[in-house]
Amino acid sequence: MAIELLKKIRLFDGLTDDELRQVRRICQEENAPKETVIFQEGSFGDKCHIVLNGEVRISKFIPGVGEEALAVLKPGDYFGEMALIDDFPRSAHAIANTDVELLTISKSEMDELLFFNKEIAYKMLWTFCRTLSARLRETNEKIAAFFAMSARF
């Protein structure tokens, strides 16, 4: 996979070609058939995933209700990045919505890359912050909508 593909992925916004080559060296490609559970809520997280082709749905399983899809991710989207930042269990399920091609980055390799290259660390951590902030805002909107609907009943 060429760095041209990495340039299209928001997680790597702002990285130079040389920095992208360094990132590419720690990436692995994986495939998952439709309905494969990529990871489960509560499991230990040690990888971040980037969708190259296909779709992945991020879901929570609610007792008595079933699966609630939080998002459907498409090529260029990434998920599981919280595992690169903290040591907490996964916060949701990730399931292949279609046959999917993924690019994965392990926590240990990312830690090493960020330790030795502070410029990449700085750029990527800002991207993580923007991503988490956007997802928090989206979650807040969903909670507000849920409470608004609950008040009607």
> Given this model, what pLDDT does residue 99 score?
98
Number of domains, the chain: 1
> Given this model, what pLDDT does residue 101 score?
96
> Given this model, what pLDDT does residue 152 score?
67
pLDDT profile of the chain (153 residues), mean per 10:
79 90 93 97 92 95 86 92 84 96 93 91 87 85 81 67
pTM of the shown model: 0.82
d(CA 146, CA 131): 23
Question: Domain containing 65: what range?
Answer: 3-151
CATH code (residue 71)? 2.60.120.10
> Given this model, what pLDDT does residue 146 score?
77
d(CA 139, CA 73): 16
Closest CA to 109 of 84, 139, 72: 84
120, with CB counted inside 10 A (0-12, 13-18, 19+), is buried
